[in-house]
Structure formats: structure tokens, C-alpha cells
Amino acid sequence: MSQQASTPAPEPVRHAATTRDHVRRLHEVRRRATVGDELATERQHAKGKLTARQRLQHLLDEGSFTEFDLFRRPAPGSPVPEYCTDGVVTGAGTVHGRRVFAYAQDFRILGGSLGEAHAAKIHKVMDLAIAAGAPLVALLDSGGARIQEGVTALAGYGGIFRRNVRASGVIPQISVVLGPCAGGAAYSPALTDFTFLVRNVSHMFVTGPDVIKTVTGESVTHEELGGAEVHAATSGVATFVADDEETCLEDVRHLISLLPSNSHDLPPSYETDDPPARRCPRLADIVPANPKVPYDVREVIAEIVDDAEFMEVHEHWAENIVCALARMGGRTVGILANQPVVRAGVLDIDTSQKAARFVQMCDAFSIPLVTFVDVPGFLPGVDQEHDGIIRHGAKLLYAYCNATVPRIQVILRKAYGGAYIAMDSRSIGADLSFAWPINEIAVMGAEAAVGVIYRKELAAAGDPEQRRTQLITEYTEELMHPYYASERGLVDDVIDPADTRVMIIRALELLSDKRPDLMPRKHGNPPT
């Protein structure tokens, strides 16, 4: 592991020295502690990585950072050399003028490894963030537990995990992996609300390539095992992925601008030049009337939200559903939308987990939910059933049913079976439901329904195909016409697609003072 030269202890100052002499000595010691070893810095830059302090400069507003425990060192008699900061920079500053607490591990010092003093600094800044009700950002770049300190290093991780859980749903927690994050350390990002990774820089895994080679005989590189692309598309660990550190930290700043400081605050609102009353006639061209023709639902979202800007969560994982944060009328909203261009937008195990956690996060931080529905059902298959689609699908139902924020459902096109219910239908508590005039809401599609209901009749028909076509037409006209659900109170209004933005913003305004009305309880028991 790279090591930074130890900062020398202050030389004794004679009693005859003035206060100014002491002040000058303070500034010199502080300068050495903050600048660090130049060779170690060069090695960090050679890897395409910023130093801990440079990262904090990119994250926080200029000149806003207040550092804690700059001179913290391991206890006397520690088996490791004494370095100022002990490999982690902690403190607080502002992002877009709002208070944020942060810590940044310094790989230049003992590989950013976590020891007793290092952990104590992190525990302190986490406790302060919780007490102040402000977001916490962790900039992670560490070789793991400091082996020389033994079990005390492991206990340090335990203290971090406990505080991650204590802060969960209370303050936004953001993990930014900017180097290695291995072993037990990998569980802290998994406990936070959002995890950022950088391509070709970030690596996360519980057991590394060498251990896997020894135990299983498999050969795998760090990038193949736990790189950004793997966690973005395969494991679902990475919420966001960036091409470089500067872009990543700018994305973190934007995310913070969309979130409240804590669970008791509302998300910040901003003035917008995008008129709330703006109609969206292009929507009628984006979404084909034929339910079998795919389209990219991101185009629908971009057309409706303020300035066509939205921040997609888990963009590359479980892509048959889109989860995103955006603004409408200057207010933050959480958007969920089936994605017809990927597997027809079906719900499956991964999409259920992705959507459920997003709903829970939005509900924890008072972010209204807008759900765009175009879903053919849950994905059928033996693997899905055996891997627990019932259990995982129930997570999505639980999350929506448990949510107390304003909830608006918009049915764009088809909405079939249990998937219709799970996508925040009125029956599970959506406050308002709107549907476009091409909507089809039913237990299943007309063709499948006719095949089940009239199976015997079709088998005995002289011209089964003609009869099938006739029955499909009759079934559609009777039970699947665009106004059927509205006639029964399950849809509040059938609207012109061009008015979708206007109707959602009006609904959000009407529901802005919505408050939860639940019997007190210790906690629920969500599906595992």
C-alpha cells in the first residue's frame, strides 16, 4: 500500500516565543498535513484518480469546507506509523448552498485502510450528520481493514454499518466509490441510498480475484469481478455510473439538489422557465396506439418533466422499468415507468426489486410518486417462479401500499393482470389515476382472454378464426374499451395525452398538503 511520509510532530517552542510564533508554527504543520507527500500524490494522479481533498473541492461549494480532526493520529503504541488524518478527511460544507457532511478516504496514507482512529473520525461525522439532519456523502477509496490493528479495525466497520442503518430513511446517504472497496467495506455502500461508481476506477467485491482463484479455481480480473459496468448492469449494486471522477462528483451535486436534507423536510423547489401549463401534443406521436408496437418511454418522460431533464436511477439494470428523479413545476418527483422497448415492459424479479426500493426511498424523503403504466403482466417462466417472483413482486406491492406521499398513476396504454395492480393502481392506494384514450385495462389481453373463455366454442366452430376475431371484437368493446375502468371509478379521468403534464402538476398541487394517516406501529414486516 502507498504510504505518505509522516507529518513531523511540532518542535518545542521556547517559552519566550510569542503567540504569533505559535500561530506561524500552526500554519506550517497544517500545511504539511493537508498537502501531503508529493510522490504519493503523483502516484494517485497516474492512476487517473484525484486526491481526497481534491474530491472534496469538486463536491462542495468553493470555500465552504470545514474540516474535523485534521491532527487525529493512531493512539501511542499503535503498530502503525503516525500520520495526520489517519487516512481519512472528514468535515462539512455546502452543496448549492445547503449543508452537507462528508468524508473522503485518502489512499495515499496506508492505502486508505481503516483503523481505529480512522473509523472514529467516520463515526463522528456520521453522528453529526444525523444530529444536524443533513445529507452524508462518503468518498470511498480504501484497501480495506488495517490488518496491523486486527479486530479493532473490524469493529470500526461495525460502527459504520450501525450508523448507516440508524440514518436510513432519516438523512440521504450517498456512497461514491472512487477506488477499491473490498471485503466488509463493500456493505456500507449497499446500506446507503445511492451508490456512484466510475468506469475503470471503482472496484467492489466481498472476496477478491485471488481468493476466488484459490477457493473455486476461477480466474477473473478486478474489473470483471467488481467493476463499474458489472455492478451497473448485472448486480444492480451501482445506482449511477460515470466516465470520470469530475463528472461523477458533479452528478452527486445534482442529486443532492433534488433531495431534501432529511425526512422531516420537503425537497427543495426551484423557479422554472418551463410553464406548468405547457401542453405536450408530441406525446400522441411518441406512443403508438397498437399495444404490440414498442417505444422508448424515456421520450415520454422527457416530454413531460421540466426542461426534459431527469436523473435515471439504475439506468443499466432491470431496464424494463425506468426509475428517475425529475422536477415538475419546479418540484422534485419520483417517476416509475414500464419500458416497452425492453422485454415489452414486463415486471420480473429484478424490476420488482428495483422499483420497490425506489418507491421506499421516495416515500422516506417526501418525494411524490408519478407512475406511467404500459405493462403486459408479470414475466412468465419456471425460473421466475422458482427464483421467487411471488416474494419479490410482493416487495413492490408492499412498497406502494406503504407509501404515504402523493401518488399519481397515468395509464398510457395497456395494463394487464396483477402487474396493473402492482403499478400503483387505485385499488392499492394511488390518490389519482388518469388514463389516455388508448388505454386497455383488463385481466389479460383480449386474444388471450377469448382463448380461455371460449376454448370449447372455438374448437367446435366451423370457421374458428372468423369466430375468434368476432369474439375478440365483442370482448374488447364490452370489457376493454377506454372508459370501462373510469365508469367503475378505478380511473379518475380519461385525458388527452397532450394534457398529461398539466394534469400531473395540478394533481401534485392539490395533494401538496397530504399527510399520512396511519395507526402507530413499531414497524411493518416487508417480504424478504
Name the active-site residue from 111, 115, 179, 183.
183
Listed residue (402, 290, 396) closest to 346, CA to CA? 396
Please tell me the distance from the alpha carbon of residue 432 to that of residue 122, in angstroms, as a whole number.
Answer: 44
Is 97 catalytic? The answer is no
Q: Is 183 a catalytic residue?
A: yes
Catalytic residue among 208, 330, 388, 418: 418
Q: Catalytic residue among 159, 184, 417, 451, which? A: 184
Instruction: Give the DSSP letter string of 334-372.
Output: EEEEE-TTTGGG-B-HHHHHHHHHHHHHHHHTT--EEEE
Q: Which of 419, 430, 449, 507 does the annotation list as catalytic?
A: 419
Torsion over CA: 333, 336, 340, 341 (sign): positive
Output the CA–CA distances (angstroms, integers) from residue 272 to 277, 293, 309, 328, in the order listed.
12, 34, 12, 9
| Rounded alpha-carbon distances, angstroms, from residue 404 to 170, 359, 415 | 16, 10, 23
- In a 13 Å sphere around the CA of 88, the CA atoms on its Cβ side amount to 29
Give the type of residue at 306: D
DSSP string, 206-223: SS-HHHHHHHH-----HH
Among this protein's residues, is 236 annotated catalytic? no
Nearest to 340 by CA among 374, 380, 300, 384: 374
Cell readout for 449 is 382472454
Q: Are 431 and 424 a contacting pair, CB within 8 Å?
A: no
CA–CA separation, 470 vs 181, rounded Å? Answer: 62
Strands, E, within 6-97: which ranges? 66-68, 88-95
Please, how many CA atoms are within 13 Å of residue 173, restricted to the half-sphere of its CB?
22
Active site residue 184: yes
The secondary element (H helix, E strand) that includes residue 120 is helix 116-132
Helix/strand/coil for 138? strand
Q: List the one residue out of 121, 482, 506, 52 whose CA is nearest residue 276.
A: 506
- Opening angle at CA 454, ends 450 and 460, nearest 5: 130
Residue 50's φ and ψ, nearest 5 degrees, are -85, 165
Which residues belong to the active site? 183-184, 418-419
